[in-house]
Amino acid sequence: MSYRGSRILITGGLGFIGSNVARQLVAEGAEVELFDNLNPSYGGNRWNIADFEDRVAVTVGDVRDASALRQAIIGKDFIFNLAAQTSHVGSMQEPLTDLQINATAQLQLVEACRRDNPNVKIIYGSTRQLYGKPRYLPVDESHPIRPVDVNGISKFAGEHFHLLYSDVYGIRSIVLRLTNTFGPGMRVKDARQTFIGIWIRRLLEGDAIPIFGDGKQLRDFTYVEDCVAALLVAGLSDAANGKVFNIGGDQFVSLLDVARMMTEIVAGGRLELQPFPAERKAIDIGDYYSDFKLFQNVCGWSPKTELRVGLQKTVDFYRSHMQRYL
């Protein structure tokens, strides 16, 4: 099976992951529409599609706009639902906005599909943040859900709207809980979406990498090409319908070791241990790394890109294109 000839909607399609998904789908011969509000707070960037913009349709719209969203889903075979508010600190500062984007808008989307396109397949990008502070490692899909911020709660609600409509109305949906995705096209002007992005910017601008606490927190990381592969294989898998899966990396390392690796790649820079800011300490989850064996068993996916290789590719990209992302 392939996506050739399929009609596809990508919400958040001008963002980091959405644009990378679009690039691959266009290469496979799909008919792709990108739906994005281009709000500078959320990461949409037209330059993400500069190399294939003439091969996609772009609709500037907000997922909170039920009418615009309803129009966009009509006639589509697949929806890669990646529009989100992703900042954890931001979700605590503007909780109602987070709820509207990550929960209310998701209910609007699946309800629109029920009414106007019940045969569509939805691949929903969720987050590992909803697990909260791990009780055991690696974290599998049976781990208790105990979010530490509003973002985790709203994303969990968004997940369950998709699953409910799958169970009750037969709207085929799959939920992927993504973990620390990084790579070309990621946000680097601040830390709203990922700390890797701001670290790259600081190193390339000659500044120190700020590491909160002792830097011993463990994490796994997913290079964007591996994330895209997971999303695409999920969309073509009937066995995955109505299920939730973790997506992650196959190695876990401390933040301090990641920072050291990055300074080696850049061939310069320094690290700076700092006390946790109060707003970040309150929602820090400590160590986290994923168990993705369930998805591997069902869909045959596994990450292919070593962390150092992915970081090298990402640094090389921003050496050439940093100004497009500031």
The residues of the chain scoring below 70 in pLDDT are none
pLDDT of residue 282: 78
pLDDT of residue 269: 85
Is there a contact between 61 and 35 (Cβ–Cβ < 8 Å)?
yes
Burial class (CB in 10 A: 0-12, 13-18, 19+), 293: middle
Q: 105-161, pLDDT tens digit by residue?
A: 999 999 999 999 999 999 999 999 999 999 999 999 999 999 999 999 999 999 999
Sequence-distant (≥ 6) Cβ neighbours of residue 71 within 8 angstroms: none
Report CA dihedral (91, 240, 235, 9) to the nearest 10 degrees.
Answer: -50
Q: 23-42, pLDDT tens digit by residue?
A: 999 999 999 999 999 988 78
List of domains in the chain: 7-183+221-248+289-304 (3.40.50.720)
For residue 35, the cross-strand partners are 11, 59
Per DSSP, the residues of 50-81 read TTTGGGSEEEE--TT-HHHHHHHHTT-SEEEE
C-alpha distances out from residue 54 to 23, 31, 239, 292, Å: 12, 12, 34, 36
Instruction: Kindly state the tokens that stand for 113.
Output: 């599909």
For residue 125, the cross-strand partners are 176
